[in-house]
Structure 1
Amino acid sequence: MSSRTYVDLGAQFKVQERLTFSANVNNLFDVAPPLSTAGPIHYDAIGTYFSVGARLKF
């Protein structure tokens, strides 16, 4: 089985003392997982995906 490198990227921006925005990219370069008979239990088969969020502290 050949080696693979997965690159994830994330950032948070504190806008105010109580407000923070975040963004993440998983598998930035869309590296395909190895073929496996065990299924996706050991590898993330989705490919590249994004998430964004906001946190407001009360």
Structure 2
Amino acid sequence: MDCLYACVTNSTAFSPTDPMPLSSRAKLLMTVESVSGLLTSLLVIARAGSVLR
């Protein structure tokens, strides 16, 4: 779980992350939050691109 959390935060963050969660549950929740935020951003950008087209 540690390696998965490190990979996700390094690939989705634009800056280093501040807090490092200690429990596996917190790492999983922060991983889900990072991925969902990235997907939301990508969907908004895709929607804006299709509107401008």
Q: Quickly name the TM-score band, shorter chain normalised.
A: under 0.3
Q: TM-score, normalised by structure 1?
A: 0.20
Looking at secondary structure, tell me which structure has more helix per residue: 2
**Which is higher, the Rg of structure 1 or of structure 2?**
1
Which one has a larger percent strand, Structure 1 or Structure 2? 1
